[in-house]
């Protein structure tokens, strides 16, 4: 790990913790939600937490770009990608399953991932080549290879089609998997990284939903599809993440279910894992 990356990882972790404590305080004070689009929630807390993260990052790293879910931004060579509250629908409904997500990306390659779940005080950190940790302890993705023993998560948002979603869901269920969804993409990813879930698939996610989680899964020895393929950094993509052993199985089931969907085009990054 270079000193440059080490400094950013330490700073990202401290900022995620501070931002998470603000999110927790606002959650406990009571939440008022509005909608950006049907089933796309936003709360006052999203903007307040993102503003805090931005002010800390820009004070420490004035030359870095910042892209955030609520305030946008333009990616540059080195960019922080921020989701102040991932799992906003949970937050708005007073479910405690939400997290602060901060990634640092170099030339579209995520280098640092930090995810903080304030209601359980769980801090996940990873940077390229140095492994992944939960509260400082090394974590590893699952070694499951059997669909009939697999616990998987399947996300949904109105940005994808009900037809594609139901094809994937019925294929996973027919293969014998237990299929659930926690309502936060980045929490689904850290659960793959720590092996408490065997796989996660979503038909469409945005960069701020996943950038930190990608590094954490990869550094925990797991597999992630090529989320930044095509114009993923701007428009998002589908995402498959899983334990390495399970990845070809998951890929083949999802690909068969989506055989007639444009999501299988190479620009969406859903290539079969080389194993």
Q: At what angle do helices 247-257 and 162-174 cross, to 10 degrees?
A: 130
CB of 77 to ligand LIP, least distance (A): 25
Smaller CB distance to ligand LIP: residue 83 or 198?
A: 83
**Minimal CB distance to ligand LIP: which residue?**
157
Q: Which residue, 194 or 209, is less far from ligand LIP as judged by CB?
A: 209
How far CA 94 is from CA of 16, 117, 119, 123, in Å, comes to 20, 14, 11, 21
Nearest approach, Cβ of residue 69 and ligand LIP (Å): 6
Please identify, using beta-carbon distances, which residue of 87 and 110 lies nearer to ligand LIP: 87
Is 57 in contact with 103 (CB distance < 8 Å)? no
Residue numbers of the site for ligand LIP (CB under 6 A)?
69, 83, 86-89, 155, 157, 183-185, 202, 205-206, 209
Q: Within 10 Å of residue 264's Cβ, how many Cβ atoms?
A: 15
Minimum CB distance to ligand LIP, residue 46 (Å): 8
Q: Report CA 89 to chain centroid distance, whole Å.
A: 15
CB of 79 to ligand LIP, least distance (A): 18
> CB-wise, 10 or 34, nearer to ligand LIP?
34
Q: How far apart are CA 59 and CA 64, in angstroms?
A: 10
Q: Are residues 134 and 124 in contact, defined by beta-carbon separation less than 8 angstroms?
A: yes
The length of the chain in residues reads 275
Least distance in Å: CB of 167 to ligand LIP? 17
90 vs 125, beta carbon nearer ligand LIP = 90
């Amino acid at each position: 790990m270079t000193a440059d990356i080490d400094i950013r990882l330490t700073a990202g972790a401290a900022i995620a913790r501070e931002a998470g404590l603000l999110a927790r305080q606002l959650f406990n004070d009571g939440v008022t939600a509005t909608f950006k689009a049907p089933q796309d929630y936003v709360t006052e807390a999203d903007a307040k937490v993102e503003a805090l993260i931005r002010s800390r990052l820009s004070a420490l790293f004035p030359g870095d770009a910042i892209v955030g879910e609520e305030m946008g931004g333009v990616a540059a060579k080195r960019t922080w990608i921020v989701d102040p509250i991932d799992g906003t629908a949970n937050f708005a409904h007073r479910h405690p399953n939400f997290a602060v997500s901060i990634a640092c990306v170099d030339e579209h390659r995520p280098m640092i991932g930090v995810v903080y779940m304030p209601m359980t005080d769980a801090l996940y950190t990873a940077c390229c080549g140095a492994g992944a940790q939960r509260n400082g302890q090394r974590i590893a993705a699952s070694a499951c290879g059997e669909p009939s023993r697999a616990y998987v998560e399947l996300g949904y948002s109105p940005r994808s089609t009900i037809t594609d979603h139901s094809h994937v869901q019925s294929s996973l269920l027919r293969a014998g998997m237990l299929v659930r969804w926690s309502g936060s993409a980045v929490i689904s990813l850290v659960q793959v990284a720590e092996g408490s879930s065997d796989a996660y698939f979503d038909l469409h996610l945005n960069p701020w939903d996943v950038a930190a989680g990608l590094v954490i899964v990869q550094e925990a020895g797991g597999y992630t599809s090529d989320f930044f393929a095509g114009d993923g950094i701007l428009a998002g993509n589908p995402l498959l993440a899983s334990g390495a052993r399970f990845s070809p199985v998951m890929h083949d089931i999802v690909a068969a279910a989506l055989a007639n969907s444009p999501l299988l085009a190479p620009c969406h990054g859903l290539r079969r894992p080389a194993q």
